[in-house]
Structure 1
Amino acid sequence: MDIVLHTCCAPCSSAVIEYLLNNGMTPVIFYYNPNIYPQAEYEKRKAECTRYAHLLGLTIVDGDYNHPAWTDEMKGLEQEPERGRRCLHCFTLRLAKTARFTRENGYKIFATTLASSRWKSLSQINEAGQAAVLQYPGTSFRAQNWRKGGLSERRRELIALHNFYNQTYCGCEYSQTTQNRLEQECRRIKNT
């Protein structure tokens, strides 16, 4: 059975892809992440996903990069914290595009690797997935906590095995700013 897998990065995807393959599903990798900033970071993450997909003989589709349009969609949400309304809106946009691709290409089921990150809200991801299903009838969202069942441990093993680039922030400039503030605060505390 084929499943469209919205993929955010190789580290988050690796154990999920392996799990799907081991359970009789062939993922079609859908890389759609207009939130990632700067574009060089987007390209680096896409290259790692592509490398892994090709290693496994899987199809990978680039959903297109349009960061300016994404930024316009986030207007008014720039100051939202991680796991706030901005993240929900971002997930909703990305999963709606995934559901659209799913339906337009004759697939039925889609899932996302966003649910493998401990930094993301599972309830927001599931809400966004269900909203996408309503927008694109005939599709089904596979809501799954990819952090359980040994997948987090396997993720770490696969990152080391394949020497994946492992980023330090979610992707958008707002999460990058938050991460930079946290690192500066940690250094300040360490130096006092």
Structure 2
Amino acid sequence: MKNKIQYQLNLPTHKNHLLLHSCCAPCSGEIIQRLIDSKIKFSIFFYNPNIHPLEEYEIRKKENKKFADKNNISFIDADYDTDNWFEQTKGMEWEPERGKRCTACFEMRFFKTAQYAHQHHFDIFSSTLGISRWKNMEQINQAGEWAAEKMPNLEYWTINWRKNNGSQRMLTISKDENFYKQEYCGCVYSLRDTNIWRQKNSREKVTIGKKFYTNSIKKSTQN
């Protein structure tokens, strides 16, 4: 892997085994590499029933698992229980991005992550969601800490993944790996709102499974 980090991460004191909730390959690529370079023991937990439609979900999961397998990192494929997600977000269909619906979504996904962590002897967990500048980091951290409090002896790692060029390296690795480039956050309401904005701004509607990151060496042949 190119662009090795120039510094080391360390888990909080007395914590040894990290469960990393991952939302997609682009957000997780830099974090995975940083954890590997820092010699931190971790596994990836893919639980994202918010992603819609199923075709989009399968593409994102496949990309994430492929990168994990390439780096010999354990990848835990959790349930795609969309009925539960819709029930948890019922009545919030028109909440804005970063609003109450997103909080409910984060809490649901993190609670499931915390449950798995507790049941399988992880003592700390975190999420790749925080590296995205489209997300409210405080909102994500609060949801993570809320979930951790539900399980004994479990902590949520509130690390700022964006620091030390994390966001820039995220883009670099996404281009190097030619990851799938999703065009909206993930849920059906995000897809709806993105298309509404695009229509108002004379932009084409979102396409599923068509766009990939590219660089000068590795051009996408999948468009």
Could you say which structure has the higher helix fraction?
Answer: 1
1:87 alignment partner AA: C
Q: Distance in 2 between matches of 1:172 and 1:137?
A: 31
Q: Distance in 1 between matches of 2:77 and 2:188?
A: 21
1:28 alignment partner AA: S
Deviation at 1:173, TM superposition (A): 0.5
Cα deviation code 1:34-55 (max 9, x no counterpart): 0000111111100001100000
Query: Matched residue pairs, number?
Result: 188
| Aligned counterpart for 1:50 among listed residues 65, 69, 83 | 65
The two structures have a TM-score, normalised by structure 1, of 0.95
Deviation at 1:144, TM superposition (A): 1.6
Name the counterpart of 2:139.
124
Select the structure of larger CA radius of gyration: 2
Deviation at 1:58, TM superposition (A): 0.5
* Superposition map of 1:102-117 within 5 A: 102-117=117-132
Would you say the 8 A contact 2:123–2:153 is kept in 1? Answer: yes
Name the counterpart of 1:96.
111
Identity %: 42
Q: Distance in 1 between matches of 2:131 and 2:116?
A: 21
Deviation at 1:167, TM superposition (A): 0.3
| Aligned counterpart for 2:30 among listed residues 7, 12, 15 | 15
Is 1:134 aligned with 2:154? no
| Aligned counterpart for 1:59 among listed residues 74, 82, 88 | 74
Would you say the 8 A contact 2:21–2:44 is kept in 1? Answer: yes
Cα deviation code 1:43-82 (max 9, x no counterpart): 1100001100000001000111011221111101111000
Mean Cα displacement is larger for which, 25-34 or 6-15?
25-34
SS in 2 for 1:187: coil
Name the counterpart of 1:147.
162
Q: Distance in 1 between matches of 2:76 and 2:199?
A: 37
Deviation at 1:30, TM superposition (A): 0.1
Cα deviation code 1:167-190 (max 9, x no counterpart): 0111100111111112112217xx
Structure with the greater relative contact order (CA < 8 A, sep ≥ 6): 1 or 2? Answer: 1
Which ranges in structure 2 are unaligned for 5 or more consecutive residues?
A: 1-15, 204-223
2:164 alignment partner AA: G
Would you say the 8 A contact 2:19–2:117 is kept in 1? Answer: yes
Name the counterpart of 2:47.
32
Is 1:164 aligned with 2:171? no
Cα deviation code 1:104-129 (max 9, x no counterpart): 00110100000011111111101101
| Aligned counterpart for 1:182 among listed residues 197, 209, 213 | 197
Q: Distance in 1 between matches of 2:105 and 2:181?
A: 21
Q: Which runs of 4+ in 1 moved over 2 A?
A: none
The two structures have a TM-score, normalised by structure 2, of 0.82
Mean Cα displacement is larger for which, 146-155 or 41-50?
146-155
SS in 1 for 2:70: helix
Is 1:3 aligned with 2:18? yes
Deviation at 1:21, TM superposition (A): 1.4
Q: Distance in 2 between matches of 1:141 and 1:48?
A: 25
* Superposition map of 1:74-93 within 5 A: 74-93=89-108
Q: Distance in 2 between matches of 1:133 and 1:108?
A: 10
